[in-house]
Amino acid sequence: MTFLPDAAGVVVIGAGAAGSAAAAHLSAAGVDVLLLERSAESDPRPGAAALTPAAVRELAVLGLPESDTSGWHRTTGVRFVAGTTGGMRLALAWPDAQGRATHGLTVARSVLDDTLASYAVRSGARLHRATEVTGLTRDAAGRVTGVTTEDGATVTADVVVDASGVQTVSHPGKKSGGPVAVSADFESPRHGDDHVETWLRLTAGDGAGLPGHGWIVGRGDGRVTVGVGALADDTTATTDACAGVLRRWLTALPANWELTETTMTGPVAGSRLATTGPSGRSERRYNDGLLAVGDCASVAHPVTGQGVAAALTSARLAAVVVARALAHPAGAARDAELTAYDDVLDGALGRHRTLGRAAAQILDRPLVTRLATTYALPRQPLMKLALGALTTPTPAAVETCVTPSTMGRVTRAADPGTERGVDQR
Ligand SMILES: Cc1cc2nc3c(=O)[nH]c(=O)nc-3n(C[C@H](O)[C@H](O)[C@H](O)COP(=O)(O)OP(=O)(O)OC[C@H]3O[C@@H](n4cnc5c(N)ncnc54)[C@H](O)[C@@H]3O)c2cc1C
């Protein structure tokens, strides 16, 4: 057991994707980072995360060696399913920011978290597990000066990065206003499927319509992860209701997936998606010495709910801002750098979030979904545009991709484009 230090340059709360990425970026830039994670090493996290090409690109920018991800399952595209038996199915290659084919990855969430946390440590961060942050310390002017832990310890820091997820430490008791999503793992002969299957409309086995949208993700390890999410920012939706939809949807899925209660290998679990902040919470991601990243900053995609790519992008941008700020002594110049974080984040993710929110509100209407699946799905160019808009980063996110350690620009890999078409798998 190692003792908690009483001071650090930066304290990062939470070693999920966002926290570990921020810690790794900052450590690589020579910043003294303390990463505090409440879960113990042995705490499992069910489910798999489908990483979009944008997330894969962020892992490369982070400098994560390819050997760390070599066992992860590679996906080459998305298969849209209209949702009715025998209905329209369209497979599209994952596009990169230039529309060329690229790849995504699928990985168990606990493997993703462990890989990034261990990379943060290799980069120089000090990680303390089983250490729950219970509050923030502030000076007389209200500026955050550090954190307190459940053991009663206090750690002071020049800057605190909150990466504690949807139930953020900095706004205790407040919940994300985003929609709910749940997922469950199953043994399936189709675990090697290289497409993320996205169901735009859900039905039960008896043909009854169900709310929300669904996805099936092959993991390449004998299992698939099946998920259901609501589209609307419905604060009344619960994970139990969503789990009920998932169970009813299972009865309508093609038999070749073999997705039944018997092949289910764990519980149906989920939470709110971090697509909007807690009601009443300021949309600012920097306040008084405290920066929010990842789900804590509510940056998940408003339509798809995918949050890992945006979590990694926000972590990188926060690290750039903090590294620049710490080059100044405490005072106005440092604060001016930190205050820029909101603008930097908005520049990179703002348009994607605004468009996504508008699309989410439109798509939430059953009539619109029916029209979209009837008229848009058969039009491959239109769906390619939609997939690009939903999954590729905005030019600003790509172009401003300096990292704190290199301040260099990312080189885009040139992949030849490929087309897909109707896919009846
Ligand atoms: C059912 C479901 C399926 C999803 N599927 C996908 C997907 O396929 N692809 C995708 O891109 N996104 C997916 N998402 C969204 C994605 O999981 C999140 O956006 C992503 O995990 C955000 O990462 P994060 O690091 O910000 O937060 P988290 O992953 O939640 O990490 C927060 C960390 O902080 C720790 N922590 C919390 N409180 C404290 C505290 N007080 N003290 C210390 N540590 C603390 C937690 O233990 C955790 O390790 C899904 C979400 C749900 C609900």
114-143 pLDDT, tens per residue?
Answer: 999 999 999 999 999 999 999 999 999 999
Mean pLDDT confidence for 247-263? 94
* Residue 182 near residue 264, CB atoms below 8 Å: no
360-388 pLDDT, tens per residue?
Answer: 555 555 555 555 666 566 666 666 666 66
Q: Which of 311, 309, 312, 316 is nearest to 402 (CA)?
A: 316
Residue nearest to atom 5 of ligand 1 (CA): 49
- pLDDT band, very low/low/confident/very high, at 194 (cuts 50, 70, 90): very high
CA 367 – ligand 1 centroid, Å: 32
Q: Tokens 């489908």 map to which residue? A: 50
Is residue 108 predicted with pLDDT exceeding 80? yes
Q: What is each CA distance from 90 to 200, 381, 418, in whole angstroms? A: 11, 11, 14
- Provide the residue ranges of all domains of the chain, joining segments of one domain with +: 7-176+278-361+377-399, 180-272
H or E segment to which residue 210 belongs: strand 209-210
Q: For residues 151 and 176, which has the higher predicted lDDT (pLDDT)?
A: 151
146-174 pLDDT, tens per residue?
Answer: 999 999 999 999 999 999 998 777 776 66
| Residue 194, beta-bridge partner list | none
Mean pLDDT confidence for 332-359? 80
Q: Report which ligand 1 atom has the smallest distance to the Cα of 20.
A: 25
Is residue 265 predicted with pLDDT exceeding 80? yes
3-state class of 400 per DSSP?
A: coil
For the chain, the average pLDDT equals 83
Taking the CA atoms of 401, 402, 403 and 404 in sequence, report the sign of the dihedral they define.
negative
Q: For residues 95 and 418, which has the higher predicted lDDT (pLDDT)?
A: 95
**227 ligand 1 Cβ < 6 A:** yes
CA 415 – ligand 1 centroid, Å: 30
**75 ligand 1 Cβ < 6 A:** no
**311 ligand 1 Cβ < 6 A:** yes
Q: For residues 72 and 400, which has the higher predicted lDDT (pLDDT)?
A: 72
The CA angle 261-264-265, to the nearest 5 degrees, is: 145
- pLDDT band, very low/low/confident/very high, at 279 (cuts 50, 70, 90): very low
Task: Quote the CA–CA distance of 205 and 76 in Å, as a whole number.
Answer: 29
Output the pLDDT for position 401.
44
Output the pLDDT for position 311.
95
Mean pLDDT confidence for 52-63? 92
* Residue 23 near residue 35, CB atoms below 8 Å: yes
CA 395 – ligand 1 centroid, Å: 25
Q: For residues 214 and 388, which has the higher predicted lDDT (pLDDT)?
A: 214
Residue nearest to atom 39 of ligand 1 (CA): 164
One-letter amino acid at 319 equals A
Q: Which of 113, 120, 229 is nearest to 181 (CA)?
A: 229
Q: Which of 420, 402, 317, 338 is nearest to 77 (CA)?
A: 420
Best probe residue, ligand 1, of 72, 170, 183, 308 (max atoms within 8 Å of C-beta):
308
**307 ligand 1 Cβ < 6 A:** yes
Output the pLDDT for position 364.
53
Query: Does domain 7-176+278-361+377-399 fall into CATH 3.40.50.20?
Result: no
Output the pLDDT for position 389.
64
Q: Report which ligand 1 atom has the smallest distance to the Cα of 225.
A: 8
Which tokens sit at 104?
């995504």
Mean pLDDT confidence for 219-238? 82
Mean pLDDT confidence for 17-21? 98
Mean pLDDT confidence for 83-105? 78
Output the pLDDT for position 282.
47
**163 ligand 1 Cβ < 6 A:** yes
Task: Quote the CA–CA distance of 6 and 135 in Å, as a whole number.
Answer: 15
